[in-house]
Structure 1
Amino acid sequence: CGVVERHGVQAVLASWILEEHLNVLGKLGCVLCCCGSVVLIIHAPSAVATSRLKLEERLTDPVIVISALLVVLLLIALILWIAPAHGKSNIMVYVAICSLLGSFTVPSSKGLGLVAPDLFVEGPGSTRALALFLVLLVTLTVSILIQFVFINKALECFSSNMFEAIYFVTFTSTVIFASALLFKEWTALTVTDSLAMLCALTTVCVGVTLLRISQEAVVTWKQKEA
């Protein structure tokens, strides 16, 4: 989860460094999003020790395969049809693309960490290990490059304050759920953690809603004080 922490920091610093402005609703939404994400990270499933062989087995699981195909199809629809038509007017289009790509980026990097020792530390690995390493490397590279493209497009059209706050939330959520699904980290969740994650997601949803509403709101802190 440390990979995604920088997004929340950038959202806060952008108002100072880039002199961008969020109205009162946007600031409240940003606070709710960050607080909900922190709670989500704290109660997220802990990493479960696994091996390359277990990873290979899980990658062939029908649930994983179907989930990955659905995400790919959704990304294709977003990139080819929805983004050209609505990307410049709806921030959630670019956010959805980058966040869904994150569900490939972080699990791929985790997978590379599992496969690499078989290839470089313990001597030459099997052909299957090499093939898996290359597939994960290509997936990681492609997803990162596409993310950069759409992050730049989003920052050209929308406030970096707003984009980073929403992106932090959605990216964190998709990464947590993708990793939990692939590595079966959810099996270690307690009832308390499950309820806390549900409350955190509710808080995040309220925060994202406020951020979306703030695009058209005209109430600022100065107007509020006046």
Structure 2
Amino acid sequence: MNSIAYAFAPAVLVTPLGALSVLIWTVMGAYFLHEEVRTLGRLGCATCLLGSIMLVLHAPPDEDIQTIDEILNLAIQPLFLLYCSLVTGFSTYMIYVVAPKSGRTNPLVYISICSSVGSISVMAVKAFSIAAKLTVGGENQFSRPSTYAFLITLVVSTLTQMNYLNKTVDEFPASLINAMYYVVFTTCTLSASFILYGGFNTTEVITTLSRLRVPSQLRHSIADTIENG
């Protein structure tokens, strides 16, 4: 169902809605696993929910994609290729160097792996979901090699992500992992989405700031800083 959602809405809208899973997982962990949720944990869940509401309310519109090759052209841009290279290098280092030493004592080790790799899987699942949607609409995208390139990326990245997410849950309390994973995963996914679809431009940032209830002096100061580079 998450994959279907990515076909009809931007990742910056769908991903923050995962805050609901933080709340549900926390309640289930407390009820079924008898894990204690303290005041700080409740505050963290509330903060995740509030931040997600703000992101959802001010999410930009989705791109109008006509063919899967359009997404491929975006994916091979230098900035996104650099991001993918950084994710690959970082996750490889964490898997083979850091995880064997600190994976069972520091939850951020496994979380950083599955979150960074997960941001790539979200971009791939969105591309593949759009290909499926266009195919159902009468424009066959499965005759294009780019569809299968995204499918292979999706399978590899999702298997890696799920593997280390399961390891994290095995080693640490679910009430701790859920909120931490949500925050790191959402940050990585939004960063990947902004880079892939060019979400960081001055006009959109200033428009979003103008919609938020930020004091006018602070808002103008931030806008001037962005315009001046």
TM-score, scaled to structure 1: 0.74
Match of 1:189, SS state, is helix
Residue 167 of structure 1: aligned partner = 181
Q: How far is 1:117 from its partner?
A: 5.7
Residue 21 of structure 1: aligned partner = 36
- CA shift in 2, pair 1:24/1:114, >3 Å: closer
**Which residue type is aligned with residue 177 of structure 1?**
S
User: Aligned runs of 1:142-157 on 2, under 5 Å?
Assistant: 142-157=156-171
Q: How far is 1:10 from its partner?
A: 1.5
Report if aligned partners of 1:33, 1:166 keep a CA contact under 8 Å in 2: no
Q: How far is 1:86 from its partner?
A: 0.9
Report if aligned partners of 1:40, 1:196 keep a CA contact under 8 Å in 2: no
- CA shift in 2, pair 1:33/1:195, >3 Å: farther
**Which residue type is aligned with residue 40 of structure 1?**
L
Q: How far is 1:76 from its partner?
A: 0.5
Residue 84 of structure 1: aligned partner = 100
Higher relative contact order (CA 8 A, sep 6+): 1
1:140 aligns with 2:157: no
Q: How far is 1:159 from its partner?
A: 0.8
Residue 38 of structure 1: aligned partner = 53
How many residue pairs were aligned?
Answer: 195
Q: Which 5+ residue runs of structure 1 have no aligned equivalent?
A: 200-226
**Which residue type is aligned with residue 55 of structure 1?**
I
Q: How far is 1:124 from its partner?
A: 7.0
Q: How far is 1:195 from its partner?
A: 8.0
**Which residue type is aligned with residue 20 of structure 1?**
E
Residues in 2 aligned to 1:32 and 1:105: alpha-carbon distance in whole angstroms: 26
TM-score, scaled to structure 2: 0.74
Partner deviation per Cα, 1:47-96 (whole Å, 9 max, x = no partner)? 22123332222122111111111111001011111111111111111111
Q: Which 5+ residue runs of structure 2 have no aligned equivalent?
A: 1-12, 215-229
